[in-house]
Structure 1
Amino acid sequence: MRAALLRNYGTPLDIQEVDIEEPKRGEVLIRVSATGLCHSDVNVFQGHTPAELPVVAGHEIAGVVEQVGEGVSNFQVGDKVVASFIQPCGKCRNCVAGRENLCETFIANRLKGTALDGSYRLRSKDGTPLRAYMGGGFAEYAILPETSLAKVPDNLDLKKAAVLGCAGLTAYGAVVLSGHVEPGENVVVIGAGGVGLSIIQLLRSIGAGEVILVDVIDWKLEKGKEMGATVILNSLKINVKDYVASKGGVDVVVECAGRPETVELALELVRVGGRVVLVGIPPANSSVSVRPASLVRRGVTILTNHGGRPRTDLPRLIEMSRTGKYSPEALITGEYRLEEINEAVSALLEGRVLRTLIVP
């Protein structure tokens, strides 16, 4: 099969023929229909996320079941599915406790690019093992554990449903699991990318109060307003701290931009007793400056969010999409063929797109 292979950080992806094994116990082979391009993938390409090389990335995967491994009971050949970027083992302490978004086995293997059993499913033509970072969806086929999959109903566009597996699921986790946002609460969302705009949609669906969206790109802010933001602020043109302070702060701030300076901004915007949810992922070696005394005296709660629970929350998100309460289609601003993936990466880095689909 063809796959987009990264051999060295900071270099273009190379489309190559690689071999993929048959699915093992509990695994499913998917014929990829589309994979969304996420900033987390670009972090890998640039070396900000130190995944082992050579690697095939891509974690917002939608496709059709081609083959099932031994013991798979919930899926059969021909099923249309979307994959979560989280691949829970179902057996570790966190999975058993209902926190499968923090699966210890998956987190231990994520940067190694292995399957849950620690072995590889991809090889180059000379037999060299290849890593698959969180799914390896930038290819014609992918092997995933059935625990990471959910069925896609016929009334959802299968290709566009790909973004449910990361942008949608991460937003669901931020709003529902971590943030516990209640109707009427005022919220600031920092970052108008795929995750940020998904959060805007979900806040609208649950009846949040004022929803302030912050970014530096006007056309993305306008998209956010269309999706439910009540106020949009370009932080290059408006002093965000002064504006939010004039409102008395907000109940919740959700940081999606993944930059140290926006994390620090989030901590300054929240009201006394409020909550900050950190969603964006800065480079692995970055750090932020905080004033603990201020946080303690103001009673600020800092929460982190690592997606949602695939077997519980992904089906719920699909149902919200089916009933029109969340629109994955609204995030899609283009499609690229697998051979055009480097052009798609450039468009994302230059701020010309939200989510693009890589279509084999």
Structure 2
Amino acid sequence: MSTAGKVIKCKAAIAWELKKPFSIVEIEVAPPKAHEVRIKILASGVCHSDEHVLSGALQFPFPIILGHEAAGVVESVGEGVTSMKPGDKVVPLFLPQCGKCVPCKHRKGNLCIKNSIGKPTGLMADGTSRFTYKGQQIHSFVRTGTFSEYTVVDENQVAKIDAAAPLEKVCLIGCGFSTGYGAALNSAEVKPGSTCAVFGLGGVGLSVVMGCKAAGASRIIGVDINKNKFAKAKELGATECVNPLDFKKPINEVLFDLTNGEGVDYSFEVIGLTDTMAAALMSCNENYGVCVIVGAPPTASEITFSPLHIFTGRTWKGCLYGGWKSKESATKLVKDFMEGKFTLDPLITHTLPFDKINEAFELLRTGKCIRCVLVY
């Protein structure tokens, strides 16, 4: 029996308040409105950005359904949707691509004006939610809310992908892999033969390592206080790894020592802490070094630094979704994966059923996993 146009009852993991476990309950998911798509989620990665909301580092309204790194199948479409149809495999995206605004038309732009990054309302563009629980409106994280068996997303935030793609793997293209890989290729534009430093060797940081290697970097230095991540980093392309806790001097000075006083050509902060952001900046060459901020910063954080750190010529920049134009690039990245141009398997260390979501977050918090994928 078709569910198109009807309310769907399904399981979802709701975060009711800060620093509390998820509750898996039955919710109601409304049909898609015009230019929206309702998706049956089949796999969703657990990302640090989701944890940042739970911890309060990123401020979003509660109760909320988190999750934004996923893949699934279109269940139904709203009026006016032309880019996909029921049955299509898709990747929902936290960053839209309308294709019409100035950023979308700009060669390097990807911050579509329809984004909700700076407007954490937890609601759709029309100011309402498609999720309810016993009549109560439930918010959705960055208008994706993939920790639910069904979700509704704007058509501009959904990429149609290869019908043969394994969803439990390509879900990472919805956020983590694409963000890190693109940070090296697009945002930094790493050049062959260069030296790179990657601060933070989680799933996104390791994807940066992969991007640096793909770009032809000759030296890739991984930086992390968890030595257990070093073997995987080297497997994926890091030439060496350092633990800041092993040194008495600041890590930026250590990196200058390792590069004969020159500093690295490119540095990447993939943690989201202001101290490591400053250290990453000061680790790169003071004249032509490029530092890219990849990790999501806490909402209320501020950073203070001497302008001399950039006056001499350094470039300090941010990166959203790896600089990719989301909708078109996600489709292409899945195609590249299917053609063997990169692998995702080493990034996925745990696969758990959806009802073990609290266990998955504990693995994330304790650093025991790189990426845990929930399957529905």
SS at match of 1:316: helix
Indicate conservation of the 8 Å contact 1:185/1:210, yes or no.
yes
Distance 1:211 1:109, change over 3 A: closer
Q: In structure 2, how many angstroms separate the alpha carbons of the residues matched to 1:152 and 1:236?
A: 43
- Show the counterpart of 1:241: 252
Amino acid of the residue matched to residue 136 of structure 2?
T
Indicate conservation of the 8 Å contact 2:41/2:150, yes or no.
yes
- Show the counterpart of 1:184: 193
Return the match for 1:250 from 244, 258, 264.
264
- Show the counterpart of 1:230: 239
- Show the counterpart of 1:287: 302
- Show the counterpart of 1:221: 230
TM-score (normalised: structure 2): 0.90
Distance 1:108 1:118, change over 3 A: farther
- Show the counterpart of 2:78: 69
- Show the counterpart of 2:353: 337
Indicate conservation of the 8 Å contact 2:38/2:150, yes or no.
yes
Aligned pair count? 358
Q: In structure 2, how many angstroms separate the alpha carbons of the residues matched to 1:304 and 1:24?
A: 34
- Show the counterpart of 1:147: 156
- Show the counterpart of 2:219: 210
- Show the counterpart of 1:8: 17
TM-score (normalised: structure 1): 0.93
SS at match of 2:115: helix
Cα deviation for residue 99 of structure 1 reads 6.0
Q: In structure 1, how many angstroms separate the alpha carbons of the residues matched to 2:98 and 2:327?
A: 11
Q: In structure 2, how many angstroms separate the alpha carbons of the residues matched to 1:258 and 1:5?
A: 25
Cα deviation for residue 289 of structure 1 reads 3.0
Cα deviation for residue 111 of structure 1 reads 1.3
Return the match for 1:276 from 291, 295, 319.
291
Return the match for 1:161 from 152, 170, 182.
170
Cα deviation for residue 4 of structure 1 reads 0.7
Q: In structure 1, how many angstroms separate the alpha carbons of the residues matched to 2:363 and 2:94?
A: 22
Return the match for 1:118 from 122, 127, 130.
127
Indicate conservation of the 8 Å contact 2:18/2:56, yes or no.
yes
- Show the counterpart of 1:347: 363
Q: In structure 2, how many angstroms separate the alpha carbons of the residues matched to 1:131 and 1:91?
A: 27
Distance 1:190 1:4, change over 3 A: same
Cα deviation for residue 90 of structure 1 reads 4.2
Cα deviation for residue 270 of structure 1 reads 0.3
Identity %, equivalent residues: 35
Higher mean alpha-carbon deviation, 207-216 vs 143-152, is at 143-152
Which blocks of at least 5 consecutive residues in structure 1 are unaligned?
Answer: none
Q: Tell me how large the CA RMSD over aligned residues is.
A: 1.9
Amino acid of the residue matched to residue 43 of structure 2?
A
Indicate conservation of the 8 Å contact 1:147/1:310, yes or no.
no
